[in-house]
A and B are shown apart, each in its own frame.
Chain A
Amino acid sequence: MKIVGKAIPHESAGEHVTGQALYTDDLLGRYPNLLQAWPVQAPQARARITQMDVSVAQEVPGVVKVLTAGDVPGINDSHTHHDEPLFPSEVMFWGQAVAWVLAESEEAARLGAEKVRVEYQPLPAILTLKEAIGQDSFQGSTLRARRGDAEQGLQNAPLTLEGELEIGGQEHFYLETQASLAALDETGNVVVQSSTQHPSETQQVVAQVLNLPRNRVVVQCLRMGGGFGGKETQANPYASVAALGTWLTKRPVRVRLNRVQDITLSGKRHPFYGRWKVGFTAEGQLLALKMELYADGGWSLDLSEAVLARAVCHSDNAYYIPHMDVTGRVCKTHKTSQTAFRGFGGPQGMVFIEEVLDQVARSLRLHPEEVRERNFYGVGGSWPSDSEEGLVSTDPDPATVTTHYGQTVKDWERTLLIWNALKESSDFARRRAEIIEFNVVNPQAKRGLAITPVKFGISFNMTAFNQAGALVLIYQDGSVQLNHGGTEMGQGLHTKMLQVAAQTLGVPLESVRLMPTRTDKVPNTSATAASSGTDLNGGAVKDACEQLKARLAGVAAQDFGVSPQDVMFEGGQVWSIWNPEQAVPFAQVVHKAYLQRVQLLSDGFYRTPNLHWDKSRMWGQPFHYFAYGAAVAEVEVDGFTGAYKVRQVDILHDVGDSLSPLVDKGQVEGGFVQGMGWLTLEDLRWDAKGQVATRSASTYKLPSFSELPEVFNVQLLPKASEPGVVYGSKAVGEPPLMLAISVREALRDAVGAFGEGGIVELASPATPEAVFWAIERVRERVLVSGD
């Protein structure tokens, strides 16, 4: 009876559907005497604060305290980099909080915030990537990954092409906005309930602000209403304000952002600008690529350097390019500090290389899928793609399975396997032919088809983060408490951890209770991020459970008169393989262990093996393995307006041996639609003054039911066990997001059908307006050449 690998519902599904599942802000009724907080947001993109007067605000009925820089007992900074003042003297982006008002009611706090008088001396602001590049406004170091001699490669290449592209950012729009509730506990510790993906860092920052040792700060995250990276570091300022308020007033304090505050205050997916030059053959084999990437980091560094590193490391996607030279810079602009967002730079890197592949193909008047498959790792352009078996794998030259940052592409042949299987199952060839026919007879509606691959590296680029801990307790009645360092944001981590614990201990799922994530249970945890939550915490949970099981096996073995390795645990029963009929309940063995003074709690620990990374050279083995997948998308575009619909999507994705198929399929589908939103619909805009123009749900549009592809087939790759990872599984959180690049490329394919071939330039996001202008450019070319 396997528990791991079973398609079970989310562990909280029953509480979700009844509204009983509690999120941070649902706890406010449990805190009598609660104070509410409201930010004073600066109406300047950049300005020096010359004066601040809080006296009038303090007169507002209900106002208890106005928090300003002078109130901070520790370091006035809410980031571990110490570059994000909690109460700034210089405003660095429009809407930055310069003070916080605490009051008896939310209304009083808001009215108080209106009365805080702040005088600003405006300073010149940098609001676009191009301005930043023009003014050398950068932060962090230059990142450069290279292999071979790209310059020489370009010179020797028979054909070259250059291009540039700007990619828009993305608002996380987790349905639950940032929320924190802080209070002092019975012993004087500061306890913060926070919607954070990284409780240990939230604890670190709160301790830093309050000048307390970390052992006096406890951070708990019950669950989040979505995170997507937006609560990896971004929860820390609000937890700090709540904690500071509680420290000073001795009363519980609630900080909960409304949607407009959340969008104007918190960081987003990085907008990128990139330019490239590629050398290739007439058959579409890539020979050399030079690429420069610029990430809009916003006003502070945050995670931008790591995001950029991942972009640089994914600008190859699944393709072998003999000579490659990719450099990246983080631009400093006066905008929100852009941060982690599902994919963490990987998606941007991959959009650029897919752009290159498509343009190479169209410049040669070849189908993009042919050019793509000709350049896969292990294929390297050297193989015919029209052999009867399709693409096959033999022993490739090791160089063609090595990335531009020196990592061997483990399981490179999986791209081919997935690609061929998906083309087959999606009936790609027939649909390609049908679409050509459709487009001939429909002058104002064109369909497009595209298939794109995903190869996504798993592990934090920063080696130290690849560790995790767990704490498992068994009580005398056989019930189990499970603590681990990961947070639940909807991705199903807790579900998987329950499965891992139950499977390893051989008890039913119901015997294991998952405890809220708290820093006083497991210390020094990493963020639940980089898709690594299950790999890391699962490894630690399994380790803890295996230790406990070994101890219990010793107890049972004595009883059965067998050796411990002959003792089996399953379904809450324990027996000897020599006598399976005489099973005893798990609880009985546990009780016996107690009487024999055998330890019934265990920690567990995991660190990802074999990682090494030289950041200065961007060279090494940053990833434990790669997650693979591919998607086929078909769209139809209206030539009058640029409006479109996604007719069909077929996905084949590699999650290793799925720990929890219902959860994993949900991650693939949800990640895909979120990626599609980023590339098509979600149009994040700042106005000329630097204010986020799309700062509400009515102006920033997420995918809704109308964006669900009409036909949506998602399959997980069978027989894909990943050795060395918990129960053969693979990370799944981020990789599927990039499958959505197929939609962007399908749109480009459809746009191209309005013309007579050649390169198609398409802005990102490909909104209906962007698609319309792309069509117009294609049509103009026809008119010009037609004359």
Chain B
Amino acid sequence: MFSFKLNGKTVQVSEVDPHTSVLSWLRQRGLTGSKEGCAEGECGACAVLLLRPDGEGSRLESVNGCLLSLPSLADQEVWTVEGLADSELHPAQVALLQGGSQCGYCTPGFVVSMAAEYYRQGRQDFDLEALSGNLCRCTGYRPIKDAAQSLGKPEADDVLAQRLESPAPALEALDYVPVGRHSYASLQTPPRFFRPTSLPELFEITSSHPQAKLVAGGTDWMVEVNQRFSRSPVQVAIDQVLELKSLTWTKEYVEIGAGLTLSEMERGLEGQVPLLHEWFPRFASRLIRNRATLGGNIATASPIGDSPPVLLALGADLLLSSATGEHTVPLAEFFTGYRQTLLQPGELIKAVRIPLPLAPMARFYKICKRPMDDISTVAAGLVMELDGDTVKSIRIGLGGVAPTPVRAYKTEAALLGKPWDLRTVRVAAEVARAEFSPIDDHRGSAAYRVAMLGKLLEKFYAQTSGVLA
């Protein structure tokens, strides 16, 4: 059994299958304001607000209810669109009245995302990126943008603003098995859900349940659950494991906890890794970044995950941890095949280390159809250091051109020690086009991907040399 606070009232849960999403549970309870538009975290119609710790106080984060399993709410405080209005409408709701809704189906999600941004500490202007994970098919967004930008600051007596002044509840370890139900889809026994809060606890669970499914933000796993009906007898939420959530700077590297959400990482880095700063908004929407983790994006080993290209270019190492100890491996050696990695059973990514000092010239390019919240056709990270006019070091990380994320070693070799000029770039572009054999799919043709291998190098040159190609 576990409990949490829903719109200010405590709720206890004991019978619900832990694969149940917050969205479907809310709707079954009659809270139908949250809508299902896609069940994969693309449309944001299901957004809910989570209270999260923030220094002395707390903050509100907008997250996709469809990608949040119900037990991950244990001990937390959550608000839905129904909980925002009391006797009066919430300012975010008032703002949307003037043309901000047409069919109204996406509107609750927009209200929630707008409310999260409304309460953001230190907010000056409304950051429209807060709405990057909400889709509207009717309005064309202009009235929603105007509504968002019309928002003022919370009043002194605003209940939610007051709540943010005190800390979010501490989350306890959880071991949950539903009671009282008879059938659990394909599973023989009632599915179990663990949420450890420390690494030793986690390793204890994984040693007694070697087949347990480790879930960080759940932004990938819950899509499997919702759309391909995957089920696991044992799920282990690792989003509250303290050791995975640190961010430390040493002389040699910055170490980023694999369990930090992208949003936490973004705030923690404060723009000190400019390449990542540029990369965050291209990675995914704010709704996703509030849950997704770096460790999760690497461990799923998708050939089109967006973190490997940039981390490969930064020369990152992974700190792997298991009950028996820790060791580092270069990220470039981590991927062993399509969706396969060096991770052994019982082992996880504890942190990502980015070596310091950072090379001065760094870019991330993502080729896709839509600038916001899309999946890469090709992604490239390029990090370079020049010695005078000569290429002293270069690392190129790529996604979308091979079964795994890859370093473009041959292309790098064609550049290393060469003068950084158009001739070198053209030769290297030729090498890049020949280095990989990407595939055709609905995101793009193989020919386009090949062409981009060369063009992105040319673009990097144009942007770093100041010479217009």
Q: Which residues of A contact B (CB under 8 A)?
A: 9-10, 12-23, 25-26, 29, 61-62, 107-108, 110-111, 173-177, 223-228, 258-260, 442-444, 489-492, 638, 640-641, 643, 645, 662-663, 665-666, 669-674, 681, 683, 685, 687, 693-694, 696-699, 701-708, 712, 714, 767-769, 772-773, 776
Contacts A670-B138, A705-B134 given; 17 further ones with Cβ under 8 A?
A10-B99, A13-B97, A16-B108, A18-B33, A61-B182, A111-B185, A177-B37, A226-B103, A226-B138, A444-B459, A490-B138, A674-B137, A697-B43, A698-B375, A706-B370, A708-B142, A769-B444
Known contacts being A13-B101, A110-B229, A444-B469, is A702 close to B137, with CB within 8 Å?
A: yes
Question: Which residue of A17, A111, A260, A697 contacts B42 across the interface (Cβ within 8 Å)?
Answer: A697
Residues of B within 8 A of A641 (CB): 365, 367, 452, 455-456, 459
4 tightest CB-CB pairs across the interface, nearest first? A19-B33, A490-B103, A225-B105, A16-B104
Q: Is the beta-carbon distance between A669 and B142 smaller than 8 angstroms?
A: yes
Q: Is the beta-carbon distance between A10 and B102 smaller than 8 angstroms?
A: yes
Complex Cα distance, B84 from A14, in Å, reads 13
Residues of B within 8 A of A19 (CB): 31-34, 80-82, 107-108, 111
Complex Cα distance, B134 from A447, in Å, reads 29
Complex Cα distance, B107 from A12, in Å, reads 11
Residues of B within 8 A of A776 (CB): 451
**B94 shortest CB reach to chain A, Å:** 8
Q: Is the beta-carbon distance between A443 and B469 smaller than 8 angstroms?
A: yes
Q: Is the beta-carbon distance between B39 and A259 smaller than 8 angstroms?
A: yes
Known contacts being A697-B38, A708-B142, is A225 close to B451, with CB within 8 Å?
A: no
- Size of B's binding interface in residues, CB under 8 A: 86
Q: Is the beta-carbon distance between A61 and B82 smaller than 8 angstroms?
A: no
Q: Is the beta-carbon distance between B227 and A260 smaller than 8 angstroms?
A: yes
Known contacts being A17-B111, A22-B32, is A768 close to B369, with CB within 8 Å?
A: yes
Q: Is the beta-carbon distance between B103 and A708 smaller than 8 angstroms?
A: no
Complex Cα distance, B103 from A726, in Å, reads 23
Residues of A within 8 A of B107 (CB): 16-17, 19
Closest residue on chain A to residue B33 by CB atoms: A19
Known contacts being A669-B140, A708-B141, is A444 close to B33, with CB within 8 Å?
A: no
Known contacts being A19-B33, A670-B140, is A640 close to B103, with CB within 8 Å?
A: no
Q: Which residues of B contact A (CB under 8 A)?
A: 27-28, 30-40, 42-43, 45, 80-82, 84-85, 89, 92-94, 96-108, 111, 128, 131-132, 134-143, 145, 182-183, 185-186, 223, 227, 229, 365, 367-375, 377, 441-445, 448, 451-452, 455-456, 458-459, 462, 468-469
Complex Cα distance, B27 from A708, in Å, reads 31
Closest residue on chain B to residue A672 by CB atoms: B140
Q: Is the beta-carbon distance between A16 and B101 smaller than 8 angstroms?
A: yes
Complex Cα distance, B108 from A61, in Å, reads 36
**B151 shortest CB reach to chain A, Å:** 13
Complex Cα distance, B45 from A176, in Å, reads 10
Q: Is the beta-carbon distance between B143 and A176 smaller than 8 angstroms?
A: no
Question: Which residue of A18, A665, A672 contacts B82 across the interface (Cβ within 8 Å)?
Answer: A18
Q: Is the beta-carbon distance between A259 and B89 smaller than 8 angstroms?
A: no
10 contacts between A and B (CB under 8 A): A111-B185, A175-B106, A666-B143, A670-B138, A696-B40, A702-B135, A708-B145, A714-B142, A768-B368, A769-B448
Q: Is the beta-carbon distance between B141 and A673 smaller than 8 angstroms?
A: yes
Closest residue on chain B to residue A680 by CB atoms: B369
**A555 shortest CB reach to chain B, Å:** 38
Q: Is the beta-carbon distance between A9 and B139 smaller than 8 angstroms?
A: no
**A169 shortest CB reach to chain B, Å:** 13
Secondary structure class of chain A's binding surface, majority of residues: loop
Q: Is the beta-carbon distance between B104 and A10 smaller than 8 angstroms?
A: yes
Complex Cα distance, B21 from A107, in Å, reads 14
Question: Which residue of A174, A671, A768 contacts B367 across the interface (Cβ within 8 Å)?
Answer: A768
Q: Is the beta-carbon distance between A176 and B105 smaller than 8 angstroms?
A: yes
Closest residue on chain A to residue B148 by CB atoms: A705
Residues of B within 8 A of A12 (CB): 101, 104
Q: Quick one: which of B142, B375, B443, B458 has the most chain A CB within 10 A?
A: B142
Q: Is the beta-carbon distance between B32 and A767 smaller than 8 angstroms?
A: no
Q: Is the beta-carbon distance between A23 and B132 smaller than 8 angstroms?
A: no
**A4 shortest CB reach to chain B, Å:** 18
Q: Quick one: which of A26, A443, A685 has the most chain B CB within 10 A?
A: A26
Q: Is the beta-carbon distance between A681 and B97 smaller than 8 angstroms?
A: no
Known contacts being A21-B104, A176-B103, A767-B369, is A698 close to B132, with CB within 8 Å?
A: no
Residues of B within 8 A of A669 (CB): 139-140, 142-143
Q: Is the beta-carbon distance between B137 and A226 smaller than 8 angstroms?
A: yes
Q: Is the beta-carbon distance between A640 and B42 smaller than 8 angstroms?
A: no
Question: Which residue of B34, B94, B139 contacts A670 across the interface (Cβ within 8 Å)?
Answer: B139
Q: Is the beta-carbon distance between A705 and B128 smaller than 8 angstroms?
A: yes
Closest residue on chain A to residue B110 by CB atoms: A17
Known contacts being A697-B37, A698-B375, A769-B445, is A225 close to B104, with CB within 8 Å?
A: yes
Closest residue on chain A to residue B139 by CB atoms: A670
Q: Is the beta-carbon distance between B374 and A701 smaller than 8 angstroms?
A: yes
Residues of A within 8 A of B89 (CB): 14, 17-18
Q: Is the beta-carbon distance between A772 and B42 smaller than 8 angstroms?
A: no
Residues of A within 8 A of B370 (CB): 681, 701, 703-704, 706-707
Question: Which residue of B132, B186, B443 contacts A706 across the interface (Cβ within 8 Å)?
Answer: B132
Complex Cα distance, B185 from A62, in Å, reads 11
Residues of A within 8 A of B37 (CB): 175-177, 259, 697
Known contacts being A259-B38, A641-B367, A670-B140, is A225 close to B103, with CB within 8 Å?
A: yes
Complex Cα distance, B102 from A492, in Å, reads 7
**B399 shortest CB reach to chain A, Å:** 15
Q: Is the beta-carbon distance between B99 and A15 smaller than 8 angstroms?
A: no
Q: Is the beta-carbon distance between B85 and A683 smaller than 8 angstroms?
A: no
**A151 shortest CB reach to chain B, Å:** 39
Q: Is the beta-carbon distance between B35 and A176 smaller than 8 angstroms?
A: yes
Residues of A within 8 A of B142 (CB): 669, 708, 712, 714
Closest residue on chain B to residue A224 by CB atoms: B103
Complex Cα distance, B89 from A177, in Å, reads 28
Complex Cα distance, B96 from A108, in Å, reads 40
Complex Cα distance, B375 from A111, in Å, reads 31
Complex Cα distance, B128 from A214, in Å, reads 50
Complex Cα distance, B24 from A25, in Å, reads 12
Complex Cα distance, B456 from A480, in Å, reads 65
**A533 shortest CB reach to chain B, Å:** 14
**B297 shortest CB reach to chain A, Å:** 15
Complex Cα distance, B413 from A448, in Å, reads 39
Q: Is the beta-carbon distance between B372 and A706 smaller than 8 angstroms?
A: yes
Q: Is the beta-carbon distance between A223 and B469 smaller than 8 angstroms?
A: no
Q: Is the beta-carbon distance between A108 and B104 smaller than 8 angstroms?
A: no
Residues of B within 8 A of A665 (CB): 99
Residues of B within 8 A of A18 (CB): 33, 81-82, 84-85, 89, 93, 108
**B190 shortest CB reach to chain A, Å:** 14
Closest residue on chain A to residue B140 by CB atoms: A673
Known contacts being A17-B111, A18-B85, A772-B448, is A640 close to B455, with CB within 8 Å?
A: yes
**B419 shortest CB reach to chain A, Å:** 21
Residues of A within 8 A of B106 (CB): 175, 225
Residues of A within 8 A of B40 (CB): 259, 696-698
**B368 shortest CB reach to chain A, Å:** 8
Closest residue on chain B to residue A665 by CB atoms: B99
Complex Cα distance, B456 from A768, in Å, reads 14
**B60 shortest CB reach to chain A, Å:** 17
Complex Cα distance, B30 from A665, in Å, reads 34
Complex Cα distance, B104 from A489, in Å, reads 9
Closest residue on chain A to residue B103 by CB atoms: A490
Complex Cα distance, B451 from A18, in Å, reads 49
Known contacts being A22-B32, A706-B132, is A666 close to B102, with CB within 8 Å?
A: yes
Complex Cα distance, B232 from A740, in Å, reads 47
Q: Is the beta-carbon distance between B82 and A17 smaller than 8 angstroms?
A: no
Known contacts being A670-B139, A697-B38, is A61 close to B183, with CB within 8 Å?
A: yes
Q: Is the beta-carbon distance between A23 and B458 smaller than 8 angstroms?
A: no
Complex Cα distance, B93 from A173, in Å, reads 24
Complex Cα distance, B99 from A524, in Å, reads 32
**A744 shortest CB reach to chain B, Å:** 15
Residues of B within 8 A of A23 (CB): 32, 35, 105
